[in-house]
Amino acid sequence: MQKTVYSMCFMCSIRCPIKVTVKDGQVTFIEGNPKVAGIDGSLCPRGSAGISLLYDSQRLQSPLIRTGERGSGQWRKASWDEALDYIADKLKPIIKKNGGQSVALTERTNLSTHVSKTFLKAIGSPNHFTHDALCKGSVNTACRSLFGYTDAQMGIDYKNTKHIVMYGRNLFEAIAVKEVNSLMDAMAAGAKVTYIDPRVSITATKAHRYWMIRPGTDLALNYALTHVILKERLYDAAYVEKWVLGLNELQDFVQSYTPEWAEKETGIPAAEIVALAREMSKDKPSVIFHFGYRGAHHANEIYLRRSILILNALMGSIEAKGGIFFKKGPGEVGAKPARKLTEQKFAAIKAPRADKVGTKDFPLPDPDHGVPQMLPHAILNEDPYPVKALFVYRFEPLMSIPDSNLTKKALEKLDLIVTVDINYSDIAWYSDVILPESIYLERTDCVQQANGQKPQMFLRRQAVPPRYDTRDWAVIAKQIGERIGIGEFFPYKDSEELVRWQLEGTGFTLEDFDKSGFVAYTDKQILWDRMDGLKFKTPSKKIELKSSLLENAGFPSFPPYEAVPGYTDNRFRLITGRNALHTHVSTQNNAYLSELAPENVLWINSKRAATLGIKSGGLVTVASKNGSGQIKAFVTDFIHPDSVFMLHGFGHEAKLATRSYNKGVSDAMLEENITDKVGGSPALHDTVVTVQAA
């Protein structure tokens, strides 16, 4: 018996469409969905390791209740009823004593995020946190300050671009399949790629121009590019005249930021900066200054991201073919999106968010996502109030929030930690109860509203029944809800019934997804008219270089540049990143992926390494204010002397994940918990480390 199931991958958060072949109840092959343009069968290495995850005996296989100290790894196997009753019995008195706001839930944004939000709203807690702020909170705020849209509402038209500039957006290594192939197609048609990074990544080896920028100085480069563009009138005058607010203020501001000044700060020759500005202008508006995927590097991150977006505005590339576009939803064609459980009526929540987002202390980050790196502070200081219970769904506070030791201290203050995961993550290891979720091949998930140039919906479908005693989060949340008196907010018996409820009113049924895994609201691409039809959501309905969002909150639109120090002796700026083989912190224990990338190494510049007596392959001690670890050195000319680099997501502590346990060093352990107080991102590249031969 053989069947084909069209579904969506979940080896990372991209949600690539997949085609799954099932023979006699076993998944035998996974490929990219050949019916989706831009995918055409392709699958990245993490996606290709999906079967290895499915049959991994080190996955979580049943609910577990902790029997020893937190983090001791002593568990007893429990039935679902027992585990869920245990959670409810702990949770009820916590809520009774401290109020609903004492319960927080953190997750990586996913298709059932509306279920998680419903769970908290029904309890009466504002404390829903997504991973987003840790990755790109300041990108979100920067986009809202300029356009009134979040970054998630904006897309990039790689395929039709003529020139793309990427600031460490390591597109050919931190892979999203469709993006990779769209850019490849553009390059085959003659598009240029300029790549800027203190380190030679794989993307650098494919670029037409590569600049090894001094780490932390991208903002200086952008101020100089803006200077040249305004001075030489290289911008799209008609577009700017029509849509941009604050050009004069910007002009005054960048006056002193000459390319010669930027050369001293960045190490990039002034003439090359001028050349790039002119080249981009020649190809405008089909150009892209990539605003970033991760945007969590510096304490002034929002201003770096704004400077990138402003360059696009000057080139008129926003809503241009081959530029940046606003994603169109079903409303554009008079249709309805899938329903969400959050549309139900809940009692109003009076308590502010525990991270103070939305209050005058922290006004601008997106309250829809929160700022997770503030959570340890809130828990430890009980400020603004005690948080006593934490639910963690497919998220890793210990390896994603900078300063793991601080996070651990905060965890100690909690009365209840529940983790829903598929693997022994480090946070699972520190939890009181672990609830195992079925993996993506074993469950149907909520509808993906795929907004873009053509609004569509995609569906993740169960390909095989769960291999172990696992359940779907939508069902788990409902079953906890029923035990604490909020069951009525979960009007379904299983995920499939929830999807049917979601699809009501959209004009589509579950069966419509059978044939190819997705449905399209329209066949036509929707692009607004660049000169007459742009629908910015700022108060002025324009692109606000001079931002009312920022200035009304007491922040400047154009803060002066602050010089970045150099690093000498054994001191370096720590930078982190990804490769194609691992997804953040979640795949390091996969048998096939760990075989290819078992641990991280520390990239260090050859000259600096020679001075310190460090050799490739030798062990070094890397230390910050927060902690230290031993890691193998990778000595190379292809990293800027000021920085050392390590892959994110290694140094796991959960012992039962034997392939990833104690392999490499955790960047989050070293990183300081510093926040961009305007935009909301953590400053993951603002930690200084010392390196010495071990």
Partner 1 sequence: MSQYYLFQDTKNCIGCHSCEVVCKSNKALPVGPKPCQVIHVAPKMVNGLPRASYVFMPCFHCENPWCVAACPTGAMRKRPQDGIVYVEQSLCVGCKTCVTACPWGAPQWNPETGKVVKCDYCKDRVDAGLKPACATICTTHCLHFGQVEDMTQIRRERHAKVIASLENQIG
Judged by the rule CB under 8 A, the positions of this chain that interact with partner 1 are 29-32, 40-45, 47-52, 172-173, 175, 177, 180-181, 184, 200, 202, 204-210, 580-581, 591-593, 595-596, 636, 638
Tally Cβ neighbours within 10 Å of residue 277.
25
According to DSSP, residue 151 is labeled G
Residue type for position 202: I
Min dist. Cβ of residue 89 to partner 1 (A): 43
Tally Cβ neighbours within 10 Å of residue 522.
16
- Residue 242's Cβ-count burial label (10 Å; 0-12, 13-18, 19+) is middle
Min dist. Cβ of residue 134 to partner 1 (A): 25
Min dist. Cβ of residue 47 to partner 1 (A): 7
Q: Name the residue nearer to partner 1 (CB basis): 574 or 581.
A: 581
Min dist. Cβ of residue 51 to partner 1 (A): 5
Helix axes 218-231, 270-283, angle to 10 degrees: 60
CA distance 224 to 218: 10
Min dist. Cβ of residue 436 to partner 1 (A): 23
Min dist. Cβ of residue 210 to partner 1 (A): 6
CA distance 471 to 576: 34
Q: Name the residue nearer to partner 1 (CB basis): 380 or 591.
A: 591
CA distance 659 to 458: 33
421 within 8 A of 657, measured Cβ to Cβ: no
Helix axes 473-483, 495-503, angle to 10 degrees: 100
How would you classify the pairing of strands 26-32 and 389-393? unpaired
Min dist. Cβ of residue 349 to partner 1 (A): 44
According to DSSP, residue 335 is labeled -
Residue type for position 342: T
Q: Name the residue nearer to partner 1 (CB basis): 192 or 328.
A: 192
371 within 8 A of 400, measured Cβ to Cβ: no
CA distance 465 to 463: 7
Residue type for position 290: H
C-alpha distance from residue 694 to each of 192, 589, 619, 639, 652 (Å): 43, 26, 5, 21, 21
Q: Name the residue nearer to partner 1 (CB basis): 184 or 335.
A: 184
Min dist. Cβ of residue 147 to partner 1 (A): 31
Q: Name the residue nearer to partner 1 (CB basis): 101 or 594.
A: 594
Min dist. Cβ of residue 348 to partner 1 (A): 48
C-alpha distance from residue 143 to each of 308, 328, 550 (Å): 10, 16, 12
Q: Name the residue nearer to partner 1 (CB basis): 80 or 638.
A: 638
Q: Name the residue nearer to partner 1 (CB basis): 134 or 171.
A: 171
Q: Name the residue nearer to partner 1 (CB basis): 45 or 365.
A: 45
Q: Name the residue nearer to partner 1 (CB basis): 38 or 71.
A: 38
DSSP of 219-270: HHHHHHHHHHHHHTT-S-HHHHHHHEE-HHHHHHHHTT--HHHHHHHH---H
Min dist. Cβ of residue 550 to partner 1 (A): 38
The residue count of the chain comes to 694
Buried b (16+ CB within 10 A) or exposed e, 595-614: eebebbbbbbbeebbeebeb
Q: Name the residue nearer to partner 1 (CB basis): 94 or 593.
A: 593
Q: Name the residue nearer to partner 1 (CB basis): 109 or 636.
A: 636
Min dist. Cβ of residue 689 to partner 1 (A): 24
**Residues sharing a CB contact under 8 Å with residue 412, sequence separation 6 or more, in sequence order:** 70
Radius of gyration of the chain (CA): 25
Min dist. Cβ of residue 594 to partner 1 (A): 8
User: Helix (H, G, I), strand (E, B), or coil: what is residue 692?
Assistant: strand
Residue type for position 339: R
Min dist. Cβ of residue 558 to partner 1 (A): 34
Q: Phi and psi for 250 in degrees, rounded to 5?
A: -65, -40
Q: Name the residue nearer to partner 1 (CB basis): 43 or 219.
A: 43
Q: Phi and psi for 518 in degrees, rounded to 5?
A: -150, 165
Q: Name the residue nearer to partner 1 (CB basis): 263 or 366.
A: 263
Min dist. Cβ of residue 454 to partner 1 (A): 22
| % helix, strand, coil for the chain, step of 5 | 35, 20, 45
Min dist. Cβ of residue 286 to partner 1 (A): 19
Min dist. Cβ of residue 194 to partner 1 (A): 11
Residue type for position 564: V
Min dist. Cβ of residue 651 to partner 1 (A): 21
Q: For residues 338, 339, 342 and 346, what is the CA-based torsion angle, rounded to 10 degrees?
A: 160
Q: Name the residue nearer to partner 1 (CB basis): 34 or 73.
A: 34
Q: Name the residue nearer to partner 1 (CB basis): 190 or 560.
A: 190
**Residues sharing a CB contact under 8 Å with residue 252, sequence separation 6 or more, in sequence order:** none
C-alpha distance from residue 94 to each of 70, 397, 412 (Å): 19, 22, 16
Q: Name the residue nearer to partner 1 (CB basis): 30 or 475.
A: 30
63 within 8 A of 83, measured Cβ to Cβ: yes
Q: Name the residue nearer to partner 1 (CB basis): 558 or 603.
A: 603
In angstroms, how far is the first alpha carbon of the chain from the final one?
Answer: 57
